[in-house]
Structure 1
Amino acid sequence: MTDGEEYTLADEIVARARIHAREVVDEYELAVDLGALEWDVSPRARRRAGACRWHADREVATIVLARKAYEAYEWPAFAEIVRHELVHAWEFQRFGESGHGSRFRERAAALEAPRHCDAFAEPRYVLRCLTHSCDWQAERHRASKPVKSPDQYRCGACNGALEVEHAVSGRTWTTASGYGGAKAALGDEW
């Protein structure tokens, strides 16, 4: 930063994450090459609090942290997300691949990092099975294909028909035209 420039929230997030990463590498003896680790902040992410991308051509991992998660969580919970993504970086650097399998679970447990993170934003849509004996549902933050055309998809648990609810308004639909109608009726509230 030069004189006159102000630090942004993204700068704060990256600075705290880098400091925590150094502490984790030292305290837990996690063999992550911090020199081959890049950081980024997503201002849009709503579903994933963090992600780790592997650039095999450069042998560099990039940890992307969600600004909205940082705003929603207290630091100890956000630090768990950083540790979770550091485990992915370690796997990428050491094995060239990463997932949430047994190797990940074992290392994440040693770092007191969750296997999955709690939701930090309310979903825009909720998909539900219409079969009375089935309680399957899924949350969505974006208008995915099943949200836009629920009649083209079936419940993964019982093969029943689906209904979608716009979480804020409570408006529901079961067809593509129902989606269009709800979107048109809600206008700016969509």
Structure 2
Amino acid sequence: MTDEEYTIADEIVARARIHAREVCDAHELAIDRDALEWTVSERARRRAGACRWHPDRGAATIVLARRAYEAYDWSEFAAIVRHELVHAWEFQQFGESGHGPRFRDRAAALDAPRHCRSFSEPRYVLRCRDGNCEWEATRHRASKPVKAPDRYRCGVCGGAYEVEHVASGRTWSTASGYGGAKAALGAEW
């Protein structure tokens, strides 16, 4: 491979593999690295990493987001690699993985976060309409609560909420309001 053929994805995978080897050796994390695959997502906008289990092959694939690599400094990105390594370890050892007590214990030992900070701006913000409540949540996709906010309630007080399209500032609190905002914005949606 020449220098011209070397891509940012190659760099991400190379650095992640080196870090994984160091982490596994230093913490005696029993991962079969031969059954560990790596890939880079060019599309991911909110998830910095993921670990997919292939039980038929006994292999785990760690997917790392290019945008997260570009947004974080190395120490923060390396923590994401450690987070995904814990998932790979759980899959290989137990055939399943989550964010429960076993995960939390192993992640703490590796100084891996349970969740990562967002590396992209949300497309929508959900906000409670009750003036005494400060609840808000963000979304990157037009999920059901974004499309039909009148069917859902605030995560704190149970009151109604509204949705804001961040780029335009347009808000709605009903399914028809969502449709109207989308139609009004057209190509800017």
Interval containing the TM-score (normalised by the shorter chain): over 0.9
Superposed counterparts of 1:21-170, under 5 Å: 21-170=20-169
| CA offsets 1:102-151 (integer angstroms, 9 cap, x no match) | 21111111111111111111100001121222222110001111111111
Letter in 1 for 2:149: P
**Aligned with 1:100: secondary structure?**
coil
**Aligned with 1:54: secondary structure?**
strand
Unaligned runs of 5+ in 1: none
Q: Counterparts of 2:153 and 2:108 in 1: how far apart (Å)?
A: 36
Deviation at 1:4, TM superposition (A): 8.5
Instruction: With the length of structure 1 as denominator, give the TM-score of the two structures.
Output: 0.93
**Aligned with 2:104: secondary structure?**
helix
Q: Counterparts of 2:100 and 2:153 in 1: how far apart (Å)?
A: 28
Deviation at 1:20, TM superposition (A): 0.9
Q: Counterparts of 1:156 and 1:130 in 2: how far apart (Å)?
A: 12
Q: Counterparts of 2:187 and 2:72 in 1: how far apart (Å)?
A: 29
Q: Counterparts of 2:106 and 2:154 in 1: how far apart (Å)?
A: 34
Q: Counterparts of 1:163 and 1:115 in 2: how far apart (Å)?
A: 29
**Aligned with 1:165: secondary structure?**
strand
Q: Counterparts of 2:64 and 2:70 in 1: how far apart (Å)?
A: 11
Letter in 2 for 1:15: A
Question: What corresponds to 1:7 in structure 2?
Answer: 6
**Aligned with 2:168: secondary structure?**
coil
Q: Counterparts of 1:7 and 1:188 in 2: how far apart (Å)?
A: 36
Deviation at 1:157, TM superposition (A): 2.5
Q: Counterparts of 1:44 and 1:152 in 2: how far apart (Å)?
A: 30
Q: Counterparts of 2:148 and 2:6 in 1: how far apart (Å)?
A: 43
Unaligned runs of 5+ in 2: none
Letter in 2 for 1:20: H
Question: What corresponds to 2:15 in structure 1?
Answer: 16
Q: Counterparts of 1:11 and 1:148 in 2: how far apart (Å)?
A: 38
Cα RMSD of the aligned pairs, angstroms, is 1.5
Q: What is the number of residues matched between the two proteins?
A: 189
Q: Counterparts of 2:91 and 2:106 in 1: how far apart (Å)?
A: 13
